[in-house]
Structures are given as structure tokens and as C-alpha cells.
């Protein structure tokens, strides 16, 4: 068997321990005589799986009682529509555009109402987080929207914007469970799980209960109403059952690692190894403003497209996969999510040092 160091931005690396457990339970889940994939989502065994997953997630994130946890489908991209459809009572929302995903959400919201771009970092190819301490929040805004960690560009909000009392909606797809969060600061926290939690096909939405209402935009399909899913405990229709089961295992794995405080410490150490290397390198450099650097996605370049391509190719041959940057930015990107071991980053940096020494004069 061969396992590589997988630096993919998503779907991404999962804890090996979780994969082994799932493999062990593949043919006979806890004496049921069937795989979780073959199981009714209305069965007792599955009821325990989804309830435990929610309880462990609540525990990890300290989610208060007045928030609902929903396990949905449609990817993070479906939330770009579901959020305005459900929350735009006044048909006004404010968007902070810090990357491609935020921009897509902003564009989608324009279908449903007046979406205002109240801040953006597009002027410098999204390489920083704009100052959000005193934004022109609209008087009648239904919510303020951010993408908290910008997967493609490698920036992260280190402090949340002052929304002047409006509910904050955050796409946390690529920083989900990477550090502790104060859930009470948000109206909605959501993310696709395929970046930092589990297999593609599950979206987790954590939403303050008062934001879940019948009062949605006319024409909102039943399946896109938060209330339907909330009233049915995420079992209105068949949920992404196997995916939720794997998410549940990852939650247990995270608890075993010491929870989100411990993950933060580990992630900071891990990212520092790579950033410290980039800061002293004469060949490679990071592409974003230092104070806005993400702990999860680390883009870097040599400044020479051919050398970048050579690096990606040789890294791949050495067992470091998916280091090519997003097609919209080029260069390289190392995604170092929770499940990427410290050793993976140490070895990557060692490899980069060797590559630099060998290619100094090109
Ligand atoms: C990957 C990603 C998305 C898109 O997710 P899908 O599940 O493919 O729709 C949205 N937002 C962020 C921050 C992402 O990283």
C-alpha cells in the first residue's frame, strides 16, 4: 500500500485512523450485517450515527442551544442561493468580497435581491483582508456575508467584521474545526465538509434558531428551506448518510486529539514551519499579506512559471501530491488541513530546500 502526502485543497486528506476504522466496518457495521452505505436512514443504527455526530460537533464547537445544526447536500455553492432565499426578508444584504468563493456568493445573491459589495480586496488579487472595523453596513441589511478563510488565495479573517448588529453569515468551508470559534458571534456558519472534515457531499449549516422561519422568498423550493430540514432533524429526505458517518468519525478523532484548542496549536506550529521557510527562501515566496495568512491554505510562487511547473512535477514524483496552485492564480498551494501530519510539512520543506539548492542558477 502507498500513501502520499496529499496537499489537495479539497476533497482533501482525511485522518488515516478514520479511514482504517471505516474500512474495518465496511462489510458489517457493528453487527448489523451491513455497511452504513446499505442502511436505512430511518434505522435505529443510523439514528445513533447522526445523533452522535451532531452531539460531538456541538461539543467540539460549544454550539449553544439556540443554534440548529443541519446536515445538508448541494455543496457550499448551494448555500450561495439558499442563504438569500431564506434570509433576505428586506431583499438587502452586504457582502465582503475577499476571493472567488465570496464573489460567487455575492453574484448569486444578486439574483434574489440587492447585494451590496461593502468591501473587497480584488484590487490586489485578493492577497489581503480589507479593514472591516467601520464598514458602510446598510441600514436594512438582512445579513453581512464573509468567506472566513479564502481557500484559493490563502487569506483568513483574524478578527470578524463589525456588522453593527446585523447577523454575520460565514462560509467556513476551508477552516471548519481548525481552531475554536465563538458561535454566538454568527447568525450562520456553514461549510462543505470536503475541505477539512469528511467526504464531498455533505454541507454543515449551523444557524441561529430565530433565523429559521417560514418567511422565505416566494418560489423557494421546499428542499432549499432551512425550516424543512430543521423541523425534520436533517432527515426530511435521504441525507448523505455515509458522508455524515465519516464526519462523525472525524469529530471523534478531533476530540481524541484534544479538541479545537489543541488543533489550533498544532495547526499554528505546522503552518509556521512552512511560512518560516518561505520567509527565508531566496527562491520561493508567499503571496499574501503576512498578517492575513491562512493556517490552512498556503500559496507560494518562485516568480518563474517554468520553475513552478518543474517544482510541482518533481514534488509529485517525490510523493507530495496536489501542490499546483488554483488555475486562477498559478504557482503552488499547499493545503495543510487538520489531517495533514506535521511530518508532511516538515518533509515538504526539506524537499523545497533541496529543490532550491539544486536549481539556484536557473
Ligand atoms: C470549496 C469551497 C466552496 C465550494 O464548495 P462546493 O462544495 O464545491 O460547492 C465554497 N467556499 C469555499 C470557501 C470553498 O473552499
Task: Answer whether residue 10 is part of any domain.
Answer: no
This model's pTM is above 0.95 = yes
Q: Does pLDDT of 361 surpass 90?
A: no
> Looking at residue 295, which CATH number applies to its domain?
3.90.1150.10
Span 196-230, pLDDT tens digits: 999 999 999 999 999 999 999 999 999 999 999 99
Task: Answer whether residue 56 is part of any domain.
Answer: yes
Read off the pLDDT band of 329 (50, 70, 90): confident
Same structural domain, 181 and 282: no
Domains held by the chain: number: 2
Taken in order 246, 251, 252, 256, is the CA torsion positive or negative?
positive
- Residue with CA nearest ligand 1 atom 4: 76
Residues facing 119 on adjacent strands: 96
Same structural domain, 238 and 273: no
Same structural domain, 76 and 214: yes
Q: What whole-number distance in Å separates Cα of residue 254 and Cα of residue 303?
A: 37
Q: How many angstroms is it from 57 CA to the middle of ligand 1?
A: 20
Task: Answer whether residue 106 is part of any domain.
Answer: yes
C-alpha cell read off for 192: 462543505
**Angle at CA 145, nearest 5°, toward 139 and 147?**
155
Out of 68, 101, 156, 253, pick the active-site residue. 101
> Looking at residue 244, which CATH number applies to its domain?
3.40.640.10
Name every residue whose Cβ is closer than 8 Å to that of residue 270 and which is 6 or more positions away in sequence: 295, 336, 340, 342, 345
Q: φ and ψ at 298, to 5 degrees?
A: -120, 100
Same structural domain, 251 and 264: no
Same structural domain, 119 and 171: yes
Q: φ and ψ at 149, to 5 degrees?
A: -125, 120
The verdict on the CB of residue 338 being under 6 Å from ligand 1 is no
Q: Is 253 a catalytic residue?
A: no
| Residues 332/299, Cβ–Cβ less than 8 Å | yes
The torsion of the CA quartet 308, 310, 314, 320, rounded to 10 degrees, works out to 20
Task: Answer whether residue 307 is part of any domain.
Answer: yes
Nearest atom (ligand 1) to Cα of 77:
9
Say how many Å lie between the first and final Cα of the chain, rounded: 36
Q: How many angstroms is it from 101 CA to the middle of ligand 1?
A: 7
Same structural domain, 136 and 149: yes
Name every residue whose Cβ is closer than 8 Å to that of residue 250 and which is 6 or more positions away in sequence: 14, 15, 18, 197, 198, 339
Task: Answer whether residue 11 is part of any domain.
Answer: no
Q: What whole-number distance in Å separates Cα of residue 188 and Cα of residue 146?
A: 11
Span 107-147, pLDDT tens digits: 999 999 999 999 999 999 999 999 999 999 999 999 999 99
Same structural domain, 122 and 160: yes
Average pLDDT over residues 260-279: 98
Task: Write down which residue in 256, 286, 310 finishes a domain.
Answer: 256
Same structural domain, 156 and 192: yes
**515566496: which residue's cell?**
285
Out of 56, 171, 292, 308, pick the active-site residue. 171
Same structural domain, 38 and 116: yes
| Residues 101/95, Cβ–Cβ less than 8 Å | no
Q: Does pLDDT of 362 surpass 70?
A: no
Task: Write down which residue in 256, 273, 295 finishes a domain.
Answer: 256
The verdict on the CB of residue 77 being under 6 Å from ligand 1 is yes
Longest dimension (CA), the chain: 65
Q: What confidence score (pLDDT) does residue 357 get?
A: 97
Q: What confidence score (pLDDT) does residue 360 get?
A: 86
Same structural domain, 79 and 150: yes
Pick from 151, 232, 183, 159: which is nearest to 59 by CA? 183
The verdict on the CB of residue 171 being under 6 Å from ligand 1 is yes
Cβ-count burial 144-154 (b if 16+ within 10 Å, e if not): bbbbbbbbbbb
Task: Write down which residue in 256, 271, 286 finishes a domain.
Answer: 256
Name every residue whose Cβ is closer than 8 Å to that of residue 65 and which is 6 or more positions away in sequence: none
Span 330-353, pLDDT tens digits: 899 999 999 999 999 999 999 999
Radius of gyration of the chain (CA): 21
Same structural domain, 329 and 190: no
Task: Answer whether residue 169 is part of any domain.
Answer: yes
Pick from 115, 105, 108: which is nearest to 140 by CA? 115
Q: What whole-number distance in Å separates Cα of residue 190 and Cα of residue 147?
A: 10
The verdict on the CB of residue 147 being under 6 Å from ligand 1 is yes
Q: Residue 316 is part of which domain span?
A: 259-359
The verdict on the CB of residue 174 being under 6 Å from ligand 1 is yes
The whole-chain average pLDDT of the chain stands at: 97
Task: Answer whether residue 1 is part of any domain.
Answer: no
Q: How many angstroms is it from 308 CA to the middle of ligand 1?
A: 25
Same structural domain, 239 and 303: no
Angle at which helices 16-24 and 241-256 cross, to 10°: 130
The verdict on the CB of residue 75 being under 6 Å from ligand 1 is yes
Task: Answer whether residue 9 is part of any domain.
Answer: no
Span 176-194, pLDDT tens digits: 999 999 999 999 999 999 9
Amino acid at each position: 500500500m502507498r500513501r502520499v502526502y496529499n496537499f489537495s485543497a479539497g476533497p482533501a486528506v482525511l485522518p488515516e485512523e478514520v479511514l482504517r476504522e471505516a474500512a474495518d466496518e465496511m462489510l458489517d457495521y457493528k453487527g448489523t450485517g451491513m455497511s452504513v452505505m446499505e442502511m436505512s436512514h430511518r434505522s435505529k443504527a443510523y439514528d445513533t450515527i447522526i445523533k452522535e455526530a451532531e452531539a460531538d460537533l456541538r461539543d467540539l464547537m460549544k454550539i449553544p442551544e439556540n443554534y440548529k445544526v443541519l446536515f445538508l447536500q448541494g455543496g457550499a455553492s448551494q448555500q450561495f442561493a439558499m442563504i438569500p432565499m431564506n434570509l433576505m426578508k428586506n431583499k438587502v444584504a452586504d457582502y465582503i468580497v475577499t476571493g472567488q468563493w465570496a464573489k460567487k456568493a455575492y453574484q448569486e445573491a444578486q439574483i434574489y435581491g440587492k447585494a451590496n459589495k461593502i468591501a473587497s480586496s480584488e484590487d490586489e488579487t485578493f492577497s489581503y483582508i480589507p479593514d472591516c472595523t467601520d464598514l458602510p453596513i446598510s441600514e436594512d441589511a438582512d445579513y453581512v456575508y464573509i468567506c472566513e478563510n479564502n481557500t484559493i488565495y490563502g487569506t483568513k479573517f483574524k478578527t470578524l467584521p463589525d456588522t453593527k448588529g446585523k447577523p454575520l453569515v460565514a462560509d467556513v468551508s476551508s477552516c471548519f474545526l481548525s481552531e475554536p470559534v465563538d458561535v454566538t458571534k454568527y447568525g450562520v456558519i456553514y461549510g462543505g465538509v470536503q475541505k477539512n472534515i469528511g467526504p464531498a457531499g455533505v454541507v454543515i449549516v449551523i444557524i441561529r434558531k430565530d433565523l429559521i422561519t417560514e418567511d422565505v422568498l416566494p418560489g423557494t423550493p421546499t428542499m432549499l428551506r432551512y425550516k424543512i430540514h430543521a423541523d425534520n432533524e436533517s432527515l426530511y429526505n435521504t441525507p448523505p448518510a455515509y458522508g455524515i458517518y465519516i464526519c462523525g468519525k472525524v469529530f471523534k478523532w478531533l476530540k481524541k486529539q484534544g479538541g479545537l484548542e489543541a488543533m489550533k496549536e498544532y495547526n499554528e506550529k505546522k503552518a509556521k514551519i512552512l511560512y518560516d521557510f518561505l520567509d527565508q527562501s531566496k527562491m520561493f515566496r508567499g503571496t499574501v499579506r503576512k498578517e492575513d495568512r491562512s493556517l490552512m491554505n498556503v500559496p507560494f510562487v518562485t516568480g518563474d512559471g517554468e520553475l513552478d511547473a518543474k517544482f510541482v512535477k518533481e514534488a509529485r514524483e517525490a510523493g507530495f501530491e496536489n501542490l499546483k496552485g488554483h488555475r486562477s492564480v498559478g504557482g503552488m498551494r499547499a493545503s495543510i488541513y487538520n489531517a495533514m501530519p506535521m511530518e508532511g510539512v516538515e518533509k515538504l520543506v526539506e524537499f523545497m530546500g533541496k529543490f532550491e539548492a539544486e536549481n539556484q542558477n536557473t
